[in-house]
């Protein structure tokens, strides 16, 4: 096989249940030239048995870690480093895709050589493959921007970061993205120190000084289930801590208006306080201080108001924890 135009990287950890359907959707991609890299991160289920059934297919490589890497983003980097294609698709092992995803996104990158990545709309599916509508950008719900992702567009990367991507990961599914391998490498690779927001940070790094393309065609299906990293850490505080770190990195790359910095910091503070007040917060006690310190580095005024409200939120948290369940 000559050098493929696209490398498909399938990073897997304990998704044996979803792998057959996922891999079938990968090999069903049509009208494109691609290779497949199957990566297993020391799964403890029967993932390896499933992967070996596909490893003999043409243009397929299977790479197995003997010990877990500790980060999905370390696997991303390994896959991209081994990729031979001009474009890379990180096909998460529990998601699904339309047979036209690669053809459509590769066409966008071919027609827009200045674009670092192209992505499509993602449909949420549950553990039983039931669809639950598109993934929405919650921060912009009810605003003039809410309908933006209903239409195709091409955008300047710095503008995209400053107006949208700074506030929220508006590219919420890696499985919906096709990017240029060289641009990923030039951006330094994903940071394996992140557990949740490493994708968000990597999109910002890739797009700084570049362009992107988007199609509103729902070509990817993103699985939402209780075993996912995002679901299992929803109230641990890690998401908000990592979000502040991502936003700090974004400010070093792109000029963010002061009003936007304040609004985004207030959004993170509000989410933290709401999780505490509701009694759902499950993180370490010391993380309240860590969060406040990062918040203060972002916007001192927002941090001061957070410090005023936190004792009351903690009192509500304690009360809910001690109240007998009915």
The average pLDDT across 272-279 equals: 95
Q: How many CA within 13 A on the CB side of residue 85?
A: 25
**What are the backbone angles phi and psi of residue 48, rounded to the nearest 5°?**
-60, -35
User: What's the confidence (pLDDT) of residue 226?
Assistant: 60
CA distance 279 to 191: 31
Residue 145 pLDDT greater than 90, yes or no: no
The average pLDDT across 75-90 equals: 98
User: What's the confidence (pLDDT) of residue 288?
Assistant: 96
User: What's the confidence (pLDDT) of residue 232?
Assistant: 52
Residue 137: band (very low, low, confident or very high) from pLDDT cuts 50, 70, 90: confident
Look up residue 196 and give its two tokens: 């949740």
H helical segments located in 10-100: 19-27, 47-54, 72-82
CA distance 160 to 177: 16
Residue 323 pLDDT greater than 70, yes or no: no
Is residue 33 within 8 A of residue 157, CB to CB? The reply is no
The average pLDDT across 274-293 equals: 94
Output the pTM of the full model: 0.93
Report which of residues 130 and 228 the model is more confident about. Answer: 130
Q: Is 180 helix (H, G, I), strand (E, B) or coil?
A: strand
Query: How far apart, in Å, do the first and last CA atoms of the chain sit?
Result: 64
CA distance 137 to 168: 7
Reported as a single tens digit per residue, the pLDDT across 209-221 is: 999 999 999 999 9
Q: Which helix (H) or strand (E) holds 311?
A: helix 300-322
- Give the contacts of 143 (CB within 8 A, at least 6 positions apart): none
Look up residue 140 and give its two tokens: 């912009």
The average pLDDT across 183-211 equals: 97
Residue 227 pLDDT greater than 60, yes or no: no
CA distance 246 to 195: 12
Lowest-confidence region among 77-91, 103-117, 139-153, 204-218 = 139-153
Look up residue 313 and give its two tokens: 């939120």
Residue 230: band (very low, low, confident or very high) from pLDDT cuts 50, 70, 90: low
Q: How much is the mean pLDDT over the chain?
A: 93
User: What's the confidence (pLDDT) of residue 324?
Assistant: 56
Q: Which helix (H) or strand (E) holds 270?
A: helix 258-277
Map out the domains of the chain with their CATH numbers.
Answer: 6-225 (3.90.550.10), 241-322 (no CATH)
Lowest-confidence region among 265-269, 281-285, 295-299 = 281-285
Could you list the beta-strand ranges (E) of 72-206. Answer: 87-90, 96-97, 115-125, 131-134, 153-156, 177-180
Residue 98 pLDDT greater than 70, yes or no: yes
Is residue 205 within 8 A of residue 187, CB to CB? The reply is yes
Residue 3 pLDDT greater than 80, yes or no: no
Q: Which residue has the tokens 């490498």?
A: 185
The average pLDDT across 136-142 equals: 79
Reported as a single tens digit per residue, the pLDDT across 161-175 is: 999 999 999 999 999
Nearest to 269 by CA among 233, 238, 307, 231: 307
User: What's the confidence (pLDDT) of residue 326?
Assistant: 47
CA distance 48 to 56: 13
Other C-beta atoms closer than 10 Å to the C-beta of 108 total: 20
Q: How many CA within 13 A on the CB side of residue 150?
A: 7
Is residue 206 within 8 A of residue 158, CB to CB? The reply is no
Residue 296: band (very low, low, confident or very high) from pLDDT cuts 50, 70, 90: very high
Lowest-confidence region among 16-20, 224-228, 292-296, 310-314 = 224-228
Q: Which residue has the tokens 């049509």?
A: 30
User: What's the confidence (pLDDT) of residue 143?
Assistant: 82
Kindly tell me the sign of the dihedral angle through the C-alpha atoms of 200, 204, 210, 212.
positive
User: What's the confidence (pLDDT) of residue 136?
Assistant: 81
Reported as a single tens digit per residue, the pLDDT across 109-133 is: 999 999 999 999 999 999 998 988 8
């Amino acid at each position: 096989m000559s050098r493929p135009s696209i490398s498909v990287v399938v990073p897997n950890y304990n998704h044996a249940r979803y792998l057959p359907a996922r891999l079938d959707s990968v090999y069903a991609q049509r009208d494109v030239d691609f290779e497949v890299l199957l990566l297993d991160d020391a799964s403890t289920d029967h993932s390896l048995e499933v992967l070996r059934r596909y490893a003999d297919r043409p243009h397929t490589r299977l790479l197995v870690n003997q010990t877990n890497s500790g980060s999905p983003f370390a696997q991303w980097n390994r896959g991209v480093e081994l990729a031979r294609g001009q474009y890379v698709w990180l096909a998460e092992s529990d998601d699904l895709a339309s047979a036209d995803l690669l053809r459509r996104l590769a066409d966008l990158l071919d027609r827009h050589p200045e674009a670092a990545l192209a992505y499509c709309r993602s449909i949420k599916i549950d553990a039983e493959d039931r669809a639950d509508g598109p993934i929405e950008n919650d921060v912009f719900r009810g605003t003039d921007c809410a309908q933006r992702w209903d239409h195709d567009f091409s955008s300047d990367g710095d503008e995209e970061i400053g107006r949208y991507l700074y506030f929220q990961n508006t590219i919420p599914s890696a499985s919906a993205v096709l990017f240029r391998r060289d641009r990923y490498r030039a951006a330094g690779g994903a940071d394996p120190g992140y557990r949740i927001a490493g994708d968000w940070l990597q999109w910002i790094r890739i797009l700084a000084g570049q362009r992107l393309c988007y199609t509103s065609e729902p070509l990817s299906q993103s699985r939402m289930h209780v075993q996912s990293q995002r679901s299992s850490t929803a109230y641990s505080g890690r998401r908000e801590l990592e979000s502040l770190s991502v936003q700090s990195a974004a400010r070093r790359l792109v000029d963010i208006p002061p009003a936007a910095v304040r609004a985004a910091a207030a959004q993170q503070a509000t989410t933290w306080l709401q999780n505490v007040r509701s009694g759902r917060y499950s993180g370490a006690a010391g993380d309240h201080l860590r969060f406040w310190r990062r918040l203060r580095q972002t916007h001192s005024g927002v941090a001061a108001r957070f410090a005023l409200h936190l004792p009351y939120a903690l009192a509500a948290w304690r009360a809910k924890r001690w109240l007998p369940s009915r």
